[in-house]
Amino acid sequence: MLAEGGNAVDACIAAAFASAVTESPLTGPGSGGFMLIHRARDRSTRIADFFVTTPGLGLDHLRGGAMKTVDVGFGGDNETKQLFRIGEASCAVPGTILGLATTHKAFGKLPWAELVAPAIEFARAGVVLSREQAHLQLLLDPILRLTDEGRKIYSPHGNRFVAGQTMAFNDLADTLEAIQKEGAAAFYRGERAHAMVTTIREGGGDLTQADLDAFRVIWRQPVRATFRGHEFLSNPPPSSGAVLIAYGLAILERLGDTRQGSAEAIATIAEVMREQTRARGGSFASELHRGGLASRLLADSEIAAAINRITERAPAVTEHAPYGGTTHVSVIDGDGNAASLSTSTGSGSGVIIPGTGIYMNNMLGEYDLVVGHTPRPGRRLTSMMSPSVALDPSGRTRLVVGSAGSARLRGAIMQIVVNVIQHGMGVEDAIAAPRVHVDEPHLHCEGGHDQAELDRLEEQGYDVVRWRRRNLFFGGAAGVEVRADGTLAAAGDPRRGGAGFVVSA
């Protein structure tokens, strides 16, 4: 799209539609998301929030039907498993299609039909599964093939697809063609909307036509933090991921430099992650919607208290991070405009609307999004997704980045920002570098770390879980960097078979 004269927003929109086919378990019309848009002309930054809302508008009584549960293994070296809550009762109101249409109307240059066309072609012709895509489908197989509709798509001949085989999505292609011709109305009204409501309601969910009619995109101002002379901008509350990244960077700003990959550097990141988890306690959930959370967390007194706790080794707080199925796209165009897009179906509900190819999200079943109880109908759910941009001391774009990984994505993004800005790594190396994640009482260390440094961490009392290889457990990022000489570099995450391209317009 950039080569055709489009801008960063056009490229993100086209990539989002294409991802609905190439990463069908992770995103698509049944998802929600966010797009950060930074304009070079006036250096303004806005966030389009089209994340999911709670269903049930117009109902006298919410059924809140029972969700199905499945136990899914991560396929890593350490038998890491997670419980997923899925089914019709887990489906929230999707927002991605309206979000893409709204951002296109506000900022797009190319015709809408051109942006949807490649995805339709991919869906009709089929996509050849890579090793990483096939592995992802293997992990999520109990969800993807939960229903007859899922089995029709993901195992039409009885067996699931493997790497090298071609998957086509003809029903989804029909839906995308309708969206191409009619815009978002083809999704939120008419026969597909009716099919969504009917399928979800018959399965115990609360989705109504009133929910689809009432959905709106919300424009927000970014949360901001300073790190090593750079300004970090990302998704504000009521989403929770970026404010925690900003909090972590603010703490790291005061903790001084460490050698990348050393035991000291890993321990510092681990302790900051513990502080991020601690910050999610108390009034955090209510403050996400009430306001004032970012100001409180980023206040000097709060940062100083966190540093004191790190110094004194305060007791850890437990938080178990679920797997999150998110797709992220980062783009910088020839005019210096940046767009950062994250969309997600969560881990997926297993519900595919018959005859449409629409794979519904399971956001009401995500433990890190629904805290304590299901919010009232029409309320925007919180999210960990954090499409982000970092501006250099002169105010120019330095890095555009985002990641998949649910609660782990905040750690992935924070570590990439540190790698690029503090350690001077290129974006490809910064994304590929081994990561860590704290899941109390364990410190998960990805394959590629120096074993001697991990030995030192164990001597310091850390319960280190050593992964032999890179794994999508640690997130799936994408980023674009503006190098010192003004040239661009782009990278996807090898953990997810991601890719980055620099296009000459």
Q: What is the pLDDT of residues 251-275, one digit of tens each?
A: 999 988 888 899 999 999 999 999 9
204 and 287, same domain (yes or no): no
In a shared domain, residues 349 and 310: no
Query: Do 404 and 359 fall within a single domain?
Result: no
| 326 given a catalytic annotation | yes
Mean residue pLDDT across the chain: 90
**Residue 198 is assigned to a structural domain of this protein:** yes
pLDDT of residue 475: 87
Sorting pLDDT into bands at 50, 70 and 90, what band is 243?
very high
Helix %, strand %, coil % for the chain, to 5?
40, 20, 40
Q: With beta carbons less than 8 A apart as the criterion, state whether 24 and 173 touch.
A: no
Q: Which of 299, 331, 365 is the last residue of a domain?
A: 365
Who contacts 315 (Cβ-Cβ below 8 Å, separation ≥6)?
none
Q: Give percent above pLDDT 70 in the chain.
A: 93
Tally of CA atoms within 13 A in the half-sphere of 433 that contains its CB: 25
Looking at the domain assignment, is residue 249 inside a domain? yes
**Residue 316's pLDDT is what?**
47
Please report whether residue 65 resides in a domain. yes
Query: Element (H or E) spanning 326, and its range?
Result: strand 325-332
- Max CA pair span of the chain: 63
Q: Are 126 and 168 in contact (CB under 8 A)?
A: yes
In this prediction, residues 334-362 reach a mean pLDDT of 95
Say whether both 71 and 183 belong to one domain: yes
Measure the CA–CA gap between 120 and 180, rounded to whole angstroms.
9
Report yes or no on 120 lying in a domain. yes
Reference 368, options 326, 401, 398, 397; nearest CA is 326
The domain total for the chain is 2
Q: Is the pLDDT of residue 155 over 70?
A: yes
How is residue 93 annotated by DSSP?
B
Cβ atoms of residues 53 and 215 within 8 Å: yes
In CATH, what number is assigned to the domain containing residue 312?
Answer: 3.60.20
Q: Are residues 89 and 182 in the same domain?
A: yes
Residue 316 and residue 423 in one domain: yes
- Residue 385 · residue 326 · CB < 8 Å: yes
Does 485 fall in a domain?
yes
| Confidence (pLDDT) at 374 | 65
Give the mean pLDDT of 51-59.
Answer: 95
Pairwise CA distance, residues 413 & 476, whole Å: 10
Q: Are residues 204 and 247 in the same domain?
A: no
Note whether 83 and 224 are same-domain residues: no
Which structural domain range is residue 154 located in?
8-35+51-218+345-365
Name residue 226's beta-bridge partners.
231
pLDDT category of residue 74 using cuts at 50, 70 and 90: low
371 within a domain of the structure (yes/no): no
* 194 and 109 share one domain: yes
Helix, strand, or coil here: 321?
coil
Return the structure tokens found at 388: 């982000």
Residues 250 and 361 occupy one common structural domain? no
Contact 114, 16 (CB under 8 A): no
Q: State the Cα–Cα distance between residues 124 and 122, nearest whole angstrom.
A: 6
460 in a structural domain:
yes
d(CA 223, CA 242): 7
Q: Whole-angstrom Cα distance, residue 432 to residue 436?
A: 12
Look at residue 323 and tell me whether its pLDDT is greater than 90: no
Do 240 and 352 fall within a single domain?
no
**How much is the pLDDT for 320?**
47
pLDDT tens digits, one per residue of 450-467: 999 999 999 999 999 999
Say what the pLDDT of residue 314 is. Answer: 45
Q: Are residues 210 and 292 in the same domain?
A: no
Q: Hey, CA dihedral for 129, 132, 134, 137, is it positive or negative?
A: negative
Structure tokens at 253: 């700003």
pLDDT at residue 368 in the model: 55
- pTM listed for this prediction: 0.91
The C-alpha atoms of residue 225 and residue 445 are separated, in whole angstroms, by: 27
449 torsion bin: left (phi>0), alpha (psi -120 to 50), beta (else)? beta
Of 326, 343, 382, 397, the catalytic one is: 326
Residue 445 located in a structural domain:
yes
